[in-house]
Structure 1
Amino acid sequence: MSLPKPVMRGLLGKRLRFHLPIAFTLSLAAAIAFKYTVTEPRKQAYADFYKQYDATKEFNAMREAGIFESVRPSGE
């Protein structure tokens, strides 16, 4: 009694027909999950930040703190 020969002809195509749709579905699910768990909250956080951001006020605060070398504080 011997072991039967493994079927090698068409093995790659047979395995690809099984694994390719699974890989495609999982990658699509991962991309959608990343979009809605990472990028959308990040975009919303940026939008919320810049709704109330005042660049002039921030510049004046940094100027008063002496961060800039080429800009004098308004008191001098």
Structure 2
Amino acid sequence: MSLQKPLMRGLLAKRLRFHVPIAFALSMLAAVGWKYGVTEPRKKAYAEFYKHYDATKEFTSMREAGVFESVRPTGK
């Protein structure tokens, strides 16, 4: 009893017809998952943070704490 010869002609095309649609679907699923699982919550968190953020107040508190070397604290 001998083994059957492997079919080599058209093997790549046959495999690609099967694997390319699966790879495309999985990549689209990953992209949608990343968009709604990571970027949308991150954008919402940034918007919430900057809604109540006062840059002048933050700068003043850092200046008073001595964070900046080139800016002297005012004697208020």
TM-score bracket for this pair, using the shorter chain length: over 0.9
Kindly provide the amino acid, as one letter, of the partner of residue 53 in structure 1. Y
Q: Are 2:18 and 1:15 equivalent residues in the alignment?
A: no
Residue aligning to 1:37: 37
Residue aligning to 2:60: 60
Kindly provide the amino acid, as one letter, of the partner of residue 31 in structure 2. A
Q: What TM-score do the two structures reach when normalised by structure 1?
A: 0.94
Q: Deviations over 1:35-61 (max 9, x none)?
A: 111111111111111000000000110
Cα distance in 2 between the residues matched to 1:41 and 1:7: 50
Kindly provide the amino acid, as one letter, of the partner of residue 42 in structure 2. R
Kindly provide the amino acid, as one letter, of the partner of residue 32 in structure 1. V
Q: What TM-score do the two structures reach when normalised by structure 2?
A: 0.94
Count of aligned positions: 76
Cα distance in 2 between the residues matched to 1:66 and 1:32: 45
How many angstroms does 1:67 deviate by?
1.0
Tell me the C-alpha RMSD between the 2 structures. 1.1
Runs of 4+ residues over 6 Å off in structure 1:
none
Kindly provide the amino acid, as one letter, of the partner of residue 67 in structure 1. V
Unaligned runs of 5+ in 2: none
Unaligned runs of 5+ in 1: none
Kindly provide the amino acid, as one letter, of the partner of residue 55 in structure 2. A
Identity among equivalent pairs (%): 75
